[in-house]
Structure 1
Amino acid sequence: MALMKDNYDVVIVGGAVIGSAVAYFLTANADFNGSVLIIERDPSFTTAATSLSSSSIRNQFSNPINVKIGKFGTQFIRAFGETMQVGDDKPDLGFHEGGYLFLANTAEQVATLRENHETQVSCGADVVLWKRDELADAFPHLVTDDILLASYGRSGEGWFNNTGLMNGFRAKARSLGADYLIDEVVGIERTGDKVTGVTLKSGRSIGAGTIVNASGPRAALTARMAGLDIPVEPRKRTLFVFDCAKTPEGSAKVNRGHLPLMIDPSGVFCRPEGRFFLSGAAPVEDPAVDWDDFEPRYEEFEEIIWPALAARSPAFEAIRVVNQWAGHYDFNALDHNLVVGRHPQVTNFIFANGFSGHGLQQGPAAGRGVSELITYGSYRTLDLTEVGYERIVEGRPFLEKAVI
């Protein structure tokens, strides 16, 4: 596209779901009358964390802020078609509210589920705790002999179209006046405690009143251009799609017979994916990887995932991988949680980074929050101060026990 201006009130570095959510909430707000530019280096989004994620959403967290972020995300996704409609195009995210099912088989896991449940219910999440017999009755295909307690989200949790969310935000933001530019930010201009603009790979320079770092796993690279730092690095996660010789789908007695997204006590997760199933697990060793390393860790299926699933259900004893791919978490090495807010000294540089695998589900709340900081100078809806950048400077982790 042709660049319309030499200066923008807001320049967003990164045009996937987080950057586009910020652009949408800014341009949709009648109180914001500035100009917005989103700069994206890869228009195909082939390796974007958005495109390669498992695209799920949950309310089952341990920290009230994360629960509330999830609840807002659910409400927003439910109404996404109407909210993002442009002309006759009404995007359908295919939201399957299949729920999340956390299983616990140790006293420590049980205590965590109970404590988390109190927080979730206090925030209005539709979550129930089940004893072993209740779990076995709801999902008869599961082996429950070792299970001491389960936590199930009856509504508000599930999975949806990941690129549909991103493209809906992008299309609506553009229709409301945001400009998108395909180029790469290679430098950020800074004078004292203010960033003033960006330098592009094409040679252009664009002035900026505010810069938003929404560059996913490359967040640290973007911050360093401004002489700043954030402990975000790419961590590889391999996802596997598999077929079952004997599918358990339809055996459930809840949620119209559909299976949930199950998190085994081992940490392996599994959920339906059309007629197949999608599964993954955190690797035994989890180092930072190169930004261009997307080679799947094929061995994880045989060594980690299949043994756990086969032990959990006879239906998963005979399964066959039909697809796999690797994506990156924008991993916050301090505490595995989002960082949203201004830099305390360079106050017109805003972080929206470190989602650590939760970017899609937390994108709506993060986009709204950043837009409020820019428009009003403070949060007007959900206060995200606790997940601000100040804790990075202080080395003070934001505690979240329900990390998958």
Structure 2
Amino acid sequence: MAKYDIVIIGGAIMGSSAAYYLRKEGFSGSIALIERDPQFTHSATTLSAASIRQQFSIPQNIRLSQFTLGLFRRLKEEFGPDADIGFREGGYLILATDEGLPVLKANHDTQRAEGADIVLEDAAALAKRFSWLSTEGITAGAYGVSGEGWFDAHAYLHLFRKALRTMNVDLIAASVTGIERQGARVSAVTLDNGEKLEAGIVVNAAGPNAGKVAAMAGLGLPVEPRKRNVFVFEARDRYEDMPLTVDPSGVWWRPEGSVYIAGGAEVEEGEQAADPADFEPDWPLFENEIWPVLANRVPSFEAIKMTRAWAGHYDYNVLDHNAVIGPHPEVQNFLFANGFSGHGLQQAPAVGKALAELIVHGGYRSIDCSAFGYERVAEGRPFRELNVI
């Protein structure tokens, strides 16, 4: 039986970030990084819309994304002169009606207090700033002037995976089928190839599968997969100044090279966990829900052509749409990095560094993630993120 000081379950961006920063923080012990989908064909990382924002409702989420923004700004320094993830700083534009304005204002106050470059403008100012935008029914919008945008998720993940190959981390292609626990400690991980790995620490970075992984250790975690669709469409007009725009209905869209992508029409109320094997796009959503919103908000989008689509899964925290980070209070060598509900890709480096600091130094140093601890899950006490897209 192989022995590892740390076994990380999930080798996409969250697990890879944890392994990377463990080495950067000086951890010299053995690390196994387990990934069941080594081509990342069905990974939440590679099937996401690959965006980064500072427009959250709580300071801790803003800080996590700001850490990653800082990494983006010094990408070549961190990963070498050829490092490039195609980061386009196009901004987010979040629109609100009269009803949603108080929340938008409160969120904006929080964002500005954290130093985020976000402006809050009324409908008239927005119409002047963005000539393509119809502000019918809109009272105001929050726009990220800088520090928000989108990037290439595959290239982003590749940077971390490539770096790990020089950091003495064992990259194991397998599925975890069981976790052994002896009282207040997890002790081993069983793989689908029959191999068993003895583990000093286990990190759950299993994305949408995180709830099932926690259950293998006899631990409850309110995280389950929720399917999210992304539709690609062509339009005659190109708008170079178009940010990732979020309508009050929840529908969002943004430019993507020579085309556009859109999503956000899923109804969360009463929504059930997704079949983990279901990656078929919900095609009627585009024509029935998304296209009418696009045509209403961007008049020239009345004449567009949907060309393709894909579907991925959020690691959805049904308690409060927020991350669970850090050790289980009773099983302290089992650590969580789960439940990001759609913003894990942009926060993974910060979470990886935080967990590395916790393991190596015994506490958080860069960003205090205590508010994301499992204790609130055990108590049924939500720490709610209001700005989930």
TM bracket, shorter-chain basis = over 0.9
Q: Does 1:223 align with 2:208?
A: no
**Which of residues 20, 27, 48 in structure 1 aligns to 2:23?**
27
Which residue number corresponds to residue 266 of structure 1? 249
Query: Please, what TM-score do these two structures have when normalized by structure 2?
Result: 0.97
Which residue number corresponds to residue 295 of structure 1? 280
CA shift, 1:78, in A, is 2.2
State the one-letter code of the partner of 2:155.
G
Alignment check: 8 A CA contact 2:12 2:45 kept: yes
1:98-150 deviation line (CA, Å, top 9, x unaligned)? 000011122x3111111111111110100111122211111001111322111
Which residue number corresponds to residue 281 of structure 1? 264
Q: Does 1:9 align with 2:5?
A: yes
Aligned to 1:175, the other structure's residue is in SS state coil
Please show how residues 232-243 of structure 1 align to structure 2 within 5 Å: 232-243=223-234
Q: Percent identity?
A: 51
Which residue number corresponds to residue 85 of structure 2? 93
CA shift, 1:91, in A, is 2.4
CA shift, 1:348, in A, is 0.2
Aligned to 1:34, the other structure's residue is in SS state coil
Alpha-carbon distance in 2 for matches of 1:134, 1:403 = 25
**Which of residues 335, 352, 377 in structure 2 aligns to 1:392?**
377
Q: Compared with structure 1, are the counterparts of its residues 232 and 282 closer, same or farther at alpha carbon in structure 2 (3 Å cutoff)? A: farther
Name whichever of 334-343 and 162-171 sits farther off: 162-171
Which residue number corresponds to residue 130 of structure 1? 121
Please show how residues 312-391 of structure 1 align to structure 2 within 5 Å: 312-391=297-376
Alignment check: 8 A CA contact 1:69 1:362 kept: yes
Aligned residues between the structures: 387
Please show how residues 55-134 of structure 1 align to structure 2 within 5 Å: 55-85=50-80, 90-106=82-98, 108-134=99-125
Alpha-carbon distance in 2 for matches of 1:400, 1:222 = 24
CA shift, 1:349, in A, is 0.2
Alpha-carbon distance in 2 for matches of 1:198, 1:145 = 56
Query: Please, what TM-score do these two structures have when normalized by structure 1?
Result: 0.93
State the one-letter code of the partner of 2:105.
R
State the one-letter code of the partner of 1:60.
Q
Q: Does 1:168 align with 2:159?
A: yes
CA shift, 1:321, in A, is 0.8
Alignment check: 8 A CA contact 1:141 1:248 kept: no
Alpha-carbon distance in 1 for matches of 2:75, 2:15 = 17
**RMSD, matched Cα:** 1.2
**Structure 2 alignment gaps of length 5 or more:** none
Alpha-carbon distance in 2 for matches of 1:371, 1:172 = 16
Alignment check: 8 A CA contact 2:342 2:388 kept: no
Alpha-carbon distance in 2 for matches of 1:372, 1:270 = 37
Alpha-carbon distance in 1 for matches of 2:48, 2:168 = 28
Alpha-carbon distance in 2 for matches of 1:90, 1:194 = 43
CA shift, 1:284, in A, is 2.5
Q: Compared with structure 1, are the counterparts of its residues 199 and 103 closer, same or farther at alpha carbon in structure 2 (3 Å cutoff)? A: same
